Amino acid sequence: MLPTIPYLPETKAACSMRLLLLVLAAVLAPALAFAQTGDPVVAKVDGVPVYKSDVDRQAAEIAQSMQGAPPSIVFRTARERVIDSILIYAAAEAAKFDQRPEFQRELTRQRRTLLTQYYMIDYLQTRIDDARIRALYDETYPDGKGKLEIRASHILVSDEAAARAVIAELDKGGDFAALAEQHSIGPSKSRGGDLGAFGKGAMIPAFEKAALALEPGSYTAEPVKTEFGWHVILLHGSERPPAPKFLQVRGPLARQLSERILQEHLGTLRAGTEIELLNPDGTAESQ
């Protein structure tokens, strides 16, 4: 079975891939249920069959609004809604809505979406298993240690002079947390500037580089400039905790593996394909 697909880094490509992957789980689950349990007909509308799986999906959608109702009532209500949808569908067909240009365009779009989803399901099913996920686990935590965690506080001010004044106060023995509450313009000022623990790559490069250059318990002797302002950083410490248990991270690793496999496959599909990029007005995009 295809593993649950978790969060991925929000690059533009990864975001699009994540959204596609999230759809896969929803599409795949009913398909697997059908293969395992069958799908009996629970009604007919002018000979058109209503399958239990259709009713079950409708029941899942209305379950919250019908909390407390007996399952038999939920089932009948869902079945009536599916029947209604079949009747409306038949009326739309009789009115030849399917021949309208806007419908044809939407039909093409939906067909492309479904084909994409089912192709991806089929492609991933044969390429993701516990052995491959375990290999990624070993790659991610090669020495039994987790990723680096940094604990730091900072005082964020709007200009360099203010940052240097804060450093001067610290040099005189000033309390970092008290100075943060007094001078910082960052949201962490109410916590004495405490940023808690964060992983490598979570902060912008200039901030992270300055923090990691410090000895635990020391603060930056020079202000650190970023797009947010000027920082005075205090490093509490950094460590690599023990690696999490495999089952704790199996889902995220499966999602990461899914993205890696699909990105590699997309690279293969793009190779040798002529792709022309155009501006919103249809003119050629300048290089």
State the pLDDT at residue 89: 92
State the pLDDT at residue 24: 46
Place of tokens 């058109």: 48
State the pLDDT at residue 25: 45
User: Phi and psi at residue 176, in whole multiples of 5°?
Assistant: -60, -45
pLDDT category of residue 147 using cuts at 50, 70 and 90: confident
pLDDT at 21 over 80: no
User: Phi and psi at residue 41, in whole multiples of 5°?
Assistant: -80, 130
pLDDT category of residue 36 using cuts at 50, 70 and 90: very low
Residue 180, Cβ density class (10 Å: 0-12 exposed, 13-18 middle, ≥19 buried): buried
pLDDT at 69 over 80: yes
Question: Are 74 and 65 contacting, i.e. CB atoms less than 8 angstroms apart?
Answer: no
pLDDT at 286 over 80: no
Residue 117 CB partners (closer than 8 Å, separation 6+): 20, 23, 24, 27
Q: In what order do the strands lie in the sheet with 149-157?
A: 194-199, 149-157, 229-239, 224-226
Tokens coding 110: 């939906």
Q: Which residues pair with 16 in a beta bridge?
A: none
The rounded distance, in Å, linking the Cα atoms of 247 and 130 is 10
State the pLDDT at residue 287: 62
State the pLDDT at residue 31: 42
State the pLDDT at residue 199: 87
CA 83 to chain centre: 36
The rounded distance, in Å, linking the Cα atoms of 230 and 206 is 11
Closest CA to 117 of 258, 22, 53: 22
Tokens coding 39: 């799908």
What's the CATH fold of domain 149-239?
Chitinase A; domain 3 (3.10.50)
pLDDT category of residue 68 using cuts at 50, 70 and 90: confident
State the pLDDT at residue 14: 47
Taking only the tens place, the pLDDT of each residue in 179-191 is 999 999 999 999 9
pLDDT category of residue 87 using cuts at 50, 70 and 90: very high
Determine which helix (DSSP H) or strand (DSSP E) holds 225, and give its type and residue range.
strand 224-226
Write down the domain spans for the chain. Answer: 149-239
Question: Are 105 and 244 contacting, i.e. CB atoms less than 8 angstroms apart?
Answer: no
Closest CA to 56 of 67, 36, 40: 40
Q: Which residues pair with 235 in a beta bridge?
A: 152
127 SS3 class = coil
User: Helices 101-125 and 246-270, interaxial angle, to 10°?
Assistant: 120
- What's at 256, amino acid-wise? Q
Q: How far is CA 243 from CA 203, 238, 247, in A?
A: 22, 15, 11
The rounded distance, in Å, linking the Cα atoms of 29 and 280 is 38
Q: For the chain, what percent of residues have pLDDT higher than 90? A: 73
DSSP state of 100: S
The rounded distance, in Å, linking the Cα atoms of 149 and 8 is 19
CA angle 65, 71, 75 (to 5 degrees): 80
pLDDT category of residue 37 using cuts at 50, 70 and 90: low
State the pLDDT at residue 200: 84
pLDDT at 23 over 80: no
Q: What's the chain's average pLDDT? A: 87
Taking only the tens place, the pLDDT of each residue in 109-118 is 999 999 999 9
State the pLDDT at residue 11: 44
State the pLDDT at residue 22: 47
Taking only the tens place, the pLDDT of each residue in 94-113 is 999 999 999 999 999 999 99
